[in-house]
Amino acid sequence: MAELILIIVSAVFINNFVVVQFLGICPFLGVSKDMKSALGMGLAVTFVMAITCLITYPIYTLILVPLGIEFLEIIVFIFIIAAIVQMIEMALKKFSPTLYNAMGIYLPLITTNCAVLGVAELVIDEAQMIGLLGITSMNLGYAVLYGLFAGLGFTLAIVVMSGLRERVAKLPIAKPLKGFPIAMICACFIAMAFYVFALI
Amino acid sequence: MKTNFKKIAVDGVVKQNPTLKLVLGTCPTLALTTLAMNGIGMGLAVTFVLICSNVLVSLLRKAIPSQVRIPAFVLIIATFVTIVRLVLEKFMPDLYDSLGLYLPLIVVNCVILARAESFASKNPVLASAADGLFMGLGFTVALTLMGAVREILGAGAIFGVKLWDFQIAFFASSAGAFFTYAIFIAIFCLIENIISKNKKRKEFALATAYTSSNTEVK
């Protein structure tokens, strides 16, 4: 139980994927203009990240490591992610059209989201995960939990960002700062807010 | 068909600068610019992958069916990233450690896929190689400049050489990364506006001189 709380606090706040580790910045800046689409994107990414960890972690530990072909991890992972995204899209279309309408348009973008490949690469690095989470050894359960809560951390950051941008859009802004620069200054303030957790 | 290498060079480094103009590949840009050296290392790794993938995509552009082109490009890019990773791990372990997680993530760096899709899959080999080289250089220059600014302000040093004790911790933090990037894009945009305005003024002056000389003749 204590470990669960540790993983939640670490993944969502202290090592927030977007503003601390800089993973998944493209959707963070691109799909954060209104809150509804930000929430949709965040939940879609969370879903894909959890399932990716569930599949890539056993494939790495049970297939790639025993065969001694760890160097193929990048190629294997990117294909697994592409396949997962494609399958989720097809499954959603068939079984849950309402969910598909809410998440569908964001799914193809997720394949090239570095947060997903990033989490797959992170959870197989046992030494780093032990340092991050303060656990004694890595297993599949921790990997999936970390993927899930890292995704929720992403969702939190992107939703906060969209709320901020909705307000900033109404302000008069100097011409050179319009667009990306002002979005990044918003992100700068969110990063400062999350920085507080690293001080604890 | 003659390739305009000068145009490719100017587009890659200045006009279509991937970091400052197109705002692609933002993750490594924000994460690795705490030190100028990291900027150079990341920039050169991306440049190498960009040149190789552009050449191979360009060579295979007639062989790859357009329905499966994206997975094919990703496979090509992932192969070169694996090569870079193995080489760095063996010969430059310090750089390998400081790039860390962001080295495998070059695969999903949008600059590379964007150039494969929008340039290399439509152009001959030599032009694609030049495009990869100059786009990569533009990326490297932007990353190194940002890294230098953040290292000077945040750590009081440049390329690891200590300059003074004065340092602002804000620029070394993640909030400082976003702030520096925002200011860089804004300055780039400002300079671009001034140049295009000057150009317009010159053209306008030329045009008026031309019409006034015409009227004098009449």
Residues B43-99: pLDDT tens digits? Answer: 999 999 999 999 999 999 888 888 788 888 888 999 999 999 999 989 988 888 888
Nearest CB among A117, A185, A192 relative to B182 is that of A185
CA atoms within 13 Å, Cβ hemisphere of B103: 22
Per the structure block, which two tokens stand in for B87?
């080489």
In B, which residues are within 8 Å of A56 by CB distance?
Answer: none
Element (H, E) at B162: strand B161-162
Q: Is the dihedral of CA B198, B203, B205, B206 positive or negative?
A: positive
Rounded distance, CA B25 to CA B46, Å?
Answer: 10
Burial class of residue B17 in the structure, from the number of CB atoms within 10 Å of its CB (0-12 exposed, 13-18 middle, 19+ buried): buried
Amino acid at B131: D
**pTM to 2 decimals?**
0.84
Instruction: Give the single-character DSSP code of B158.
Output: E
The pLDDT tens digits for B100-131 are 888 888 888 888 888 888 888 888 888 899 99
Nearest CB among B86, B101, B186 relative to A176 is that of B186
Q: Are A185 and A10 in contact (CB under 8 A)?
A: no
Q: Are A188 and B178 in contact (CB under 8 A)?
A: yes
Q: What is the dihedral of CA A19, B13, B15, B201, to 10 degrees?
A: 120
In B, which residues are within 8 Å of A27 by CB distance?
Answer: none
Q: Which of A38-47, A63-72, A122-131, B111-120 has the lowest mean pLDDT?
A: A122-131
**Cα B112 to the center of its chain, rounded Å:** 10
Instruction: Mark yes or no for CB contact A26/B107 under 8 Å.
Output: no
Domain ranges in chain B? 5-217
List all residues 6 or more positions away from A103 whose beta carbon is below 8 Å from its beta carbon. Answer: A40, A43, A44, A47, A92
